[in-house]
Structure 1
Amino acid sequence: MTVDLQTPGNASAHMAGALARAGTALMTVASSPRAKKTTRSYDPAVMMNSLLKLTASIDPADLFSAQVKATQEWAGFWVDLWTPQQATDAKDKPRGDRRFADPRWEQPYFRAARDAYLLASRQLRDLVSSAKIEDTSSQAMAGFLLDQYLNAISPTNFVMTNPEVVQRTRETAGANLVNGFAHVLEDFAAGKGIVKRRAAADVFEKGKTIAATPGSVVFQNKLFQLIQYAPTTPDVSLEPLLYVPPLVNRYYMIDLQPKSSLVRWLVEQGRTVFVISWVNPDDSLRDCALEDYVLTGVVEAIGAVRRATDGAKVDLFSFCLGGTLGAMALAWLEAKGRANEVNSATLIGTMLDFSNLGEWAAFVHEAHMDALDDHIGGKGYIDANELQQLFSAVRANDLIWSSVVDHYLLDRPAPPSDLLTWFEDGARIPAAFMKSYNRSLLHANGLTAPGGFTIGDVAIDLAAMRTPAMVIALKADHVSAWNAVYDSSKLLGGPVTFILGGSGHNAGVINPPAANKHGYWTNPDLAGTADTWLESAEKHPGSWWPEWVRWLDRNGSGKRVAARQPGEGGLSVIEAAPGTYATTSY
């Protein structure tokens, strides 16, 4: 809201309202019960030790060279500062850095603040990257901590160095800052940390505006409900599709608003679509580990889908951690002589080889895992809010500091976002699963060698699989780096097709053809490295969705059957989608 400062009383009335709101929020905080002392999900000593290793590993000669270079660069900065015609843009400004998109950043005062920050940031990052820390986890942690510091001190996050905030403060006579302070207190009193409210969740309602593709729950056990979607075509492909989502968020990232719903689009292409909807676990499921989610989860879901479709082979598709579970299930079926239950597998943004974790390596440390085990051992699960905080920290500019600016400095409501609404609708993960995943896969990298991980009496061997697979990576993926996904694809023993989609971990998946965005790359030659693959890859415009469906057609039987209605096969309807498991929160 813009205040008309020319009308007597308007500014003072607006400020009075803001002060009253801040006072109410402050009283709420003061009357809130004191938080109980809790354990940490990480070991602070590891962070301190990483910084000590950093300072000890920087070669004095390299430090001296960096200082000389910095002196020269800062001299050039001050020359450019007084000759603005030579500095129309910051040479250190990363492409696509939305923090500095406002054209007012080119005004001399704000340009100086921006360019000084970017120059200093680059110099510090160069210095840290030059350190020769032998421990990969410590190197990653040092970089992570530096990024957190640099993200926090950006001039965009402060009143007097952000041109948009300065303008907003003038328009509201400062009421935006008082209201923003009230937001800080309200979020703090809610007990879930600051900037929790990023999405206008009241705009979206599961089953009506998102997760709204018509369907029914046709099977359930203690770990998941199975949703079958209603057809929209008179006949469908013989092979049904089964989606395996990750555990940390609900399944409906692939069923957001109808215009961007992958589920709806697949149904319209004449596919029978089934989706696993994982339960939001409580303490009773504390002992459910990786093995349980593979067997009682993915394998049992495959069997249920086949019962509903008269024994048809399943086209399995999965995302992120869901793909890791799916690949393990396929290896287990192969070892049991049941590989013919699955026709093909599609792994999207999935890591199987965890040797290249990038910045996530910062958290793969024995002491961190011990701390996490102790932290979640009492309650039996890790909270969704804690997982979201970790993901947000890795994408701090997009998921934390942009919200600080909008919510606390500009007093501007977040625009409705179906993707952010989904992101904040997280789920818990059982303690046993976290322990087995962290230690057996992330730390020991157990899927890279035959028998490195066992499920019951079965040694998991991804190289023994013969199921045709399509592996899809996303070029700007911050969770599963695309080159790590590429390397992971080489662990699969069957024929592999690799596609690189544009955009990031979540947005790159939700890429309907009608939007004609992002593009994708193809190259049948998987012999070389990820970089050499990309050098000779062909770029295509638009979405990878149609390319994927053409691959499914080439690897399918080509047969069509009458459209399958939920409940008409070997499974009965339990309730309407999205189902109880997707709507239950704690």
Structure 2
Amino acid sequence: MDETTTAPNFPTLEDWQHWTLVMGRAQQMMMETWAESWKAGEPFPGLKSPSQPPEAFDLMRAGAEAWSKGLQAWGQMLGATEKAAEAKDRRFAAPEWRDNPLFDTICQSYLAVSDQLMRGVEEVEGIDEGARQKLRFATKSFIDAMSPSNFALTNPQVLKKTIDSRGENLLNGLRHMLDDIRAGQLTQTRKGEYEVGRNLATTPGKVVKETPLYQLIQYTPTTDKVLTTPVVIFPPWINRFYILDLTPEKSFVRWCVEQGISLFMVSWKSADESMKDVVLDDYVLRGQVDAVDTIRDLLGVESVHTIGYCVAGTTLAATLAYLQAKGEAAKVRSATFFTAQIDFTQAGDLKLFLGDEVMGLHSQLTAEKGFLDGRYMAATFNALRGRDLVWNYVVNNYLLGEEPAPFDLLHWNSDTTNLPAKWHRDYLETLYKQNKLVECGGVSIDRTPVDLKTVRTPSYIQAGREDHIAPPESVWKVMDHFAGPKRFVLAGSGHIAGVVNPPSAQKYQYWTCDQDQPSLDEFIAHATEHKGSWWPDWVEWIRSLGADEVPATGARQPGEGKLPALEEAPGRYVRTR
């Protein structure tokens, strides 16, 4: 025997005692969690209804089953000999994936098989594009779930952390997972780091009106004079409004005020049992039209500029058509659409979640209380980017046992809001699936048929080049339906970062074209690229419609006009779960 041969290091009694303690602590945490769940009468930890787990946890359960079968699958994949192309993939950024031959082989095999699977989707014959899109999404989701980075035994970082910490990472990860189960959603940012009103949504202002559907916030001017025509923002009712008022350096709201704009924000109420019968008419008439009329009366102006973000842009289009039909179009001086869709023929990946099974689950989830728990919608959006918004945190939080980094955008993403069940289902069925809004008279508001082709309100249409929720080719269709003057701007990045891009950040770019173009492809072919944020382009467009100013006094100051201040911004609705 070679004298230099090192004898294997067998576990000592202390090692056995340590790992027994680790296993015991893990078992205790799991038992305590389930005991609390059953004591509270919850069929599933963190969720009192329904009895069926939400899609997010179906995904986690599927991932857990995949982990148990993972080694066998990878044993077969190791036979792949083709060297996969090097890719800039954060999952395999650690040097161990390249320096260790075993893990390099695992990584390259995975990339090769993944590439082959995705190519196979495009080569399938005899299916329409809709079916191919579903197959493409399902295949990508499977590939992302089966990444070797997601399995403890095939992730060199997890193995090293487990050895170095003697299993503490797994205990911490289990604690994080059980906390997430109690909360009913995946943690994406460090807890306690952000708070609405403390370091988010801090632009000074006051709530000057409250209805059962929304609060109206008027922001405090910071300039001596302001534009005569005010601006009101309608954020999506599926999210909290402060995506446009994050930290001060990112806040679109604060920036607008600094540009001399009299700014108002609608803060939608998170749905409860009282909103079970809310429908489109409510969001148009008792929401958007009511807010416009309130501001006109408060400031004594004929019209207001409006902004509709995402789904609120969809309803804003319906509002414009309704006002046109009623002969009241002059109430709205202009309409700006942030990544909004009105024609859903090319609506993107969300259409994958409109099958009969999903709609049936929607009915089951909302039958008892009449509203949809916002965590289900958050899980749907997370699933659209599962690699970044699900599996990344499974590895970091559960396997490595680390706390996620603080990130204001992800805090907002996790701050869910409930949705009125009847209206949400009608939105998906009537608009997304049946595409009724673009039909003349396909949708009626207060028994008044509307037609988008009649809309002549000047419109500014912004799309995100990499938007997977409202693809630019879908947003472009606003150009095809409205009859009035329109300006289209294509911004770099996606659904959120493409909108929330302050000039001071000097990030991304945007494209404009001064000549009308018949299609998005022609627009891109003739567009001029500009570095940085599109916000200055927008405010220049707003001023081109009327640059008259008035002193920032009297009713231009929150609470000093006809409407007394009810409370300080951001108000209580945005804090209500």
TM-score w.r.t. length of structure 1: 0.85
Letter in 2 for 1:236: V
Q: 1:109 to 1:303 in 2, by over 3 A?
A: same
Letter in 1 for 2:568: A
2:143 to 140, 150, 154: 150
Task: Tell me the alpha carbon deviations over residues 57-88 of structure 1, each in whole angstroms, 9 at most, x when there is no partner.
Answer: xxxxxxxxxxxxxxxx999x6264xxxxxxxx
Cα shift at 1:579: 0.8
Counterparts of 2:510 and 2:18, CA distance in 1 = 50
Q: 1:9 to 1:525 in 2, by over 3 A?
A: farther
Q: Secondary structure at the match of 2:81?
A: helix
Counterparts of 2:326 and 2:14, CA distance in 1 = 75
Q: 1:315 to 1:197 in 2, by over 3 A?
A: same
Q: Does 1:29 align with 2:33?
A: yes
2:561 matched residue in structure 1: 569
Query: Any conservation in 2 of the 1:137–1:364 contact (CA below 8 Å)?
Result: no
1:116 to 97, 105, 109: 109
Q: Does 1:549 align with 2:539?
A: yes
Cα shift at 1:20: 6.5
Q: Does 1:528 align with 2:535?
A: no
Counterparts of 1:417 and 1:15, CA distance in 2 = 35
Letter in 1 for 2:563: L
Give unpaired runs (5+ residues) of structure 2: 1-11, 56-76
1:321 matched residue in structure 2: 311
Q: 1:124 to 1:515 in 2, by over 3 A?
A: same
Counterparts of 2:457 and 2:53, CA distance in 1 = 38
2:176 matched residue in structure 1: 183
Query: Any conservation in 1 of the 2:222–2:260 contact (CA below 8 Å)?
Result: yes
Cα shift at 1:330: 1.1
Q: 1:10 to 1:295 in 2, by over 3 A?
A: farther
Q: 1:14 to 1:485 in 2, by over 3 A?
A: farther
2:436 to 446, 450, 457: 446
Structure 1 window deviating more from structure 2 (176-185 vs 328-337): it is: 176-185
Counterparts of 1:205 and 1:241, CA distance in 2 = 26
Q: Secondary structure at the match of 2:438?
A: coil
Count of residue pairs the alignment pairs up? 535
Q: 1:246 to 1:41 in 2, by over 3 A?
A: farther
1:127 to 99, 120, 139: 120
Structure 1 window deviating more from structure 2 (265-274 vs 503-512): it is: 503-512
Q: 1:332 to 1:257 in 2, by over 3 A?
A: same
1:84 matched residue in structure 2: none
Letter in 1 for 2:50: T
Counterparts of 2:316 and 2:86, CA distance in 1 = 42
1:38 matched residue in structure 2: 50
Query: Any conservation in 2 of the 1:141–1:361 contact (CA below 8 Å)?
Result: no
Q: Does 1:260 align with 2:246?
A: no
Please provide the CA RMSD for this pair. 2.8
Structure 1 window deviating more from structure 2 (489-498 vs 234-243): it is: 489-498
Query: Any conservation in 2 of the 1:513–1:545 contact (CA below 8 Å)?
Result: yes
Query: Any conservation in 2 of the 1:307–1:571 contact (CA below 8 Å)?
Result: no
Cα shift at 1:136: 5.3
Task: Tell me the alpha carbon deviations over residues 480-503 of structure 1, each in whole angstroms, 9 at most, x when there is no partner.
Answer: 111211123321221111111111
Counterparts of 1:9 and 1:416, CA distance in 2 = 40
Query: Any conservation in 2 of the 1:42–1:372 contact (CA below 8 Å)?
Result: no
Counterparts of 2:282 and 2:505, CA distance in 1 = 39
Cα shift at 1:250: 0.8
Q: Does 1:229 align with 2:219?
A: yes
2:70 matched residue in structure 1: none
2:187 matched residue in structure 1: 197
Q: Does 1:276 align with 2:266?
A: yes
1:348 matched residue in structure 2: 338
2:571 matched residue in structure 1: 579
2:380 matched residue in structure 1: 390
Query: Any conservation in 2 of the 1:286–1:431 contact (CA below 8 Å)?
Result: yes
Counterparts of 2:361 and 2:179, CA distance in 1 = 30
Q: 1:494 to 1:17 in 2, by over 3 A?
A: farther
Task: Tell me the alpha carbon deviations over residues 16-75 of structure 1, each in whole angstroms, 9 at most, x when there is no partner.
Answer: 8865653441221341316178366999xxxxxxxxxxxxxxxxxxxxxxxxxxxxx999
Task: Tell me the alpha carbon deviations over residues 423-442 of structure 1, each in whole angstroms, 9 at most, x when there is no partner.
Answer: 11111111110122111101
2:162 matched residue in structure 1: 169
Counterparts of 1:539 and 1:40, CA distance in 2 = 49
Structure 1 window deviating more from structure 2 (109-118 vs 243-252): it is: 109-118
Cα shift at 1:362: 1.7
2:489 matched residue in structure 1: 499
Letter in 2 for 1:580: R
Cα shift at 1:99: 2.3
Counterparts of 1:438 and 1:247, CA distance in 2 = 14
Structure 1 window deviating more from structure 2 (462-471 vs 447-456): it is: 447-456
Q: Secondary structure at the match of 1:566?
A: coil
1:379 to 354, 365, 369: 369
1:87 matched residue in structure 2: none
Give unpaired runs (5+ residues) of structure 1: 1-7, 44-72, 81-89
Letter in 2 for 1:118: L
Cα shift at 1:167: 3.3
Query: Any conservation in 1 of the 2:221–2:552 contact (CA below 8 Å)?
Result: no
Q: Secondary structure at the match of 2:264?
A: strand
Task: Tell me the alpha carbon deviations over residues 294-346 of structure 1, each in whole angstroms, 9 at most, x when there is no partner.
Answer: 11111101111112221242110121001111111111111111111111111
Q: 1:220 to 1:14 in 2, by over 3 A?
A: farther
Task: Tell me the alpha carbon deviations over residues 389-446 of structure 1, each in whole angstroms, 9 at most, x when there is no partner.
Answer: 1111111111110100110111111111111111111111111101221111011101
TM-score w.r.t. length of structure 2: 0.86
2:449 matched residue in structure 1: 459
1:83 matched residue in structure 2: none
Cα shift at 1:122: 1.9
Counterparts of 1:104 and 1:159, CA distance in 2 = 14
1:78 matched residue in structure 2: 81
Percent identical pairs in the alignment equals: 37
2:208 to 218, 223, 230: 218
Letter in 2 for 1:146: T
Q: Secondary structure at the match of 1:362?
A: helix
Q: 1:19 to 1:252 in 2, by over 3 A?
A: same
Q: Secondary structure at the match of 1:435?
A: helix
1:159 matched residue in structure 2: 152
Q: 1:11 to 1:334 in 2, by over 3 A?
A: farther
2:299 matched residue in structure 1: 309
Structure 1 window deviating more from structure 2 (234-243 vs 137-146): it is: 137-146
1:406 matched residue in structure 2: 396
Counterparts of 2:348 and 2:267, CA distance in 1 = 29
Q: 1:22 to 1:448 in 2, by over 3 A?
A: same
Task: Tell me the alpha carbon deviations over residues 137-160 of structure 1, each in whole angstroms, 9 at most, x when there is no partner.
Answer: 544333332222111101221223
Query: Any conservation in 2 of the 1:351–1:484 contact (CA below 8 Å)?
Result: yes
Q: Secondary structure at the match of 1:179?
A: helix
Counterparts of 2:503 and 2:18, CA distance in 1 = 46
Cα shift at 1:15: 6.9
Matches within 5 A, 1:99-114: 99-107=91-99, 108-114=101-107
Query: Any conservation in 2 of the 1:331–1:464 contact (CA below 8 Å)?
Result: yes
Counterparts of 1:92 and 1:449, CA distance in 2 = 48
1:472 to 462, 465, 490: 462
1:510 matched residue in structure 2: 500
1:55 matched residue in structure 2: none
Counterparts of 1:451 and 1:296, CA distance in 2 = 21
Cα shift at 1:133: 5.5
Q: 1:41 to 1:170 in 2, by over 3 A?
A: closer
Counterparts of 2:144 and 2:206, CA distance in 1 = 44
Q: 1:151 to 1:330 in 2, by over 3 A?
A: same
Q: Secondary structure at the match of 1:78?
A: coil
Counterparts of 2:396 and 2:548, CA distance in 1 = 52
Q: Secondary structure at the match of 1:472?
A: strand
Cα shift at 1:378: 2.2
